Amino acid sequence: MEHWVNMMVTVAMLREGHPPGKPLQYLKSQPRFKDKLATLAKSLGVAALPKKLRDAIIQVVDLRNGYVHFVWEGKAPKRISKDVSTLQSVVSRCEPILEDAAGFEFRHFDAPYVKLVSSTMRVR
């Protein structure tokens, strides 16, 4: 999901008229994930990603980062059980989250160009 957002930010910034090196420079500055989402929305000229999608993506990214950037801490068995339940819940929602993300991508990146591509490729 982070790579998807990076790609969306890059394309949106390029379409906004930024020079080719600007999106990469921005991403290399290591903005916070929420800042990337805000940049994406701004570059697309929308107030924000739909709240449900934004919150779901942030939850997946935060959960993933909690494991990837793991700092050990002792946890009570009850807490471990709760963490496992949260993980299972988030993972089970990943496919619908990705479908919503793909729908967002189509609406904001592809749909405006469907007629142009179809006529150029002579697809009906």
Distances 69 to 8, 62, 63, 64 between C-alpha atoms, Å = 24, 10, 10, 8
Question: What's the pLDDT score for residue 20?
Answer: 92
Radius of gyration of the chain (CA): 18
Per the listing, tokens 């002792």 go with 74
pTM of the predicted model as reported, rounded to 2 decimal places: 0.74
pLDDT of residue 118: 80
The pLDDT of residue 123 is 66
Domain ranges of the chain: 2-120
Name the strand (E) or helix (H) holding 82: helix 77-92
With a cut of 70, which residues of the chain have pLDDT below it? 47, 71-72, 123-124
